[in-house]
Amino acid sequence: MLVGKRIVITGGAGFLGTHITKILAESNDVFVPRSKDYDLKSSDAVKQIFTDFPNTDIVIHAAADIGGIGYSSTHPADQFYNNTLINLNIVHQSFKAGIKKFVGVGSVCEYPADAQVPFKEESLWDGYPVITNDAYGLTKRMLLAQCTAYNKQHNFQFIHLLPVNLYGPGDDFDTNNSHVIPAIIKKVVYAMDHGEEVVEIWGTGNESREFVYVEDAAEAVVFASEKYEKPYPVNIGSGAEIIIRNLANTIGSILQFKGNFVFLNNGLGGQHRRLLDVSKAKEEFGFIAKTSLHDGLVKTIEYYIDNKHNLG
């Protein structure tokens, strides 16, 4: 259904966006606005995207100021300001350009801190997000709210997706910005390279997370872009959770790490549990995650070992 379409993918050179672009560029005319050429915080720069790439059919909005708990908990003002401007501009200029469909990539961080597990889309507005990344989560909710408003007033056609924690080759391994999987992989490899026997990890180790392999998530975005038309958010995940202690042990086992993990219980473990109800994605556009956590971790670890000298 997307063959031959003209598609703008914001964040198309980023972690998730790279994989979305790879899929869609095979049979569509795809444009990826790069930050060095288009500052998405500038309304004029975003307007220029549609001048340079006219007659756009679809916008897939995957760009964001994003990072792990360490970054989100120390840069909430930056995230709120940057993401609010980016979202406001992208939606408004997409509307002005007359696009046919807007695909908003939201986040599991939108969910309330005390959301009942598994998270159902209907509970999205039932409370305040977890405070370690509330600013980021709220800007994603506001993206949904803006699209809904434009739909009501202007019949702006949009969908909104809620991916859970992504991981895979190409993830951010920066010490200050990384999420939990790349952070643990990097710490374990460092410990092994330097003969250290202890790896420290934030939180209690009893927090649970659900993860979806980045290539699977990209496939879900493409499926939804093709087949889903309703203005109601949809979860994107694997439907399986793992406690961080077991995640660390799995990574350690793959790497054959013989040392120990120490959990700091420092209040930076984030939400206690995160698990999505993924039934709607299956029902609405046939998405089921196909990469097991173990297989995905093996690929991610191989990527890091092969590229660690270039990843900092």
Catalytically active residues, by annotation: 136
Structure tokens at 228: 């889903």
Backbone angles phi, psi at 311, to 5 degrees: -100, 0
Query: For residues 176 and 274, what is the distance between their CA atoms, to the nearest angstrom?
Result: 22
How far is Cα 224 from Cα 285, in angstroms, rounded to an integer? 6
User: Does residue 227 sit in helix, strand or coil?
Assistant: helix
278 contacts 238 by C-beta, under 8 angstroms: yes
Longest CA pairwise span in the chain (Å):
62
Nearest to 59 by CA among 126, 118, 7: 7
Q: 242 has which bridge partners?
A: 209
Residue 213 burial class via C-beta count within 10 angstroms: exposed 0-12, middle 13-18, buried 19 and up: buried
Question: For residue 251, how many other CB atoms are within 10 A of its CB?
Answer: 23
Token pair of 99, please? 């696009």
The two tokens of residue 32 are 């990826």
What the block records as the tokens of 145 is 């709210």
Helix (H, G, I), strand (E, B), or coil: what is residue 161? strand
Strand order in the sheet with 165-167: 165-167, 208-213, 241-243
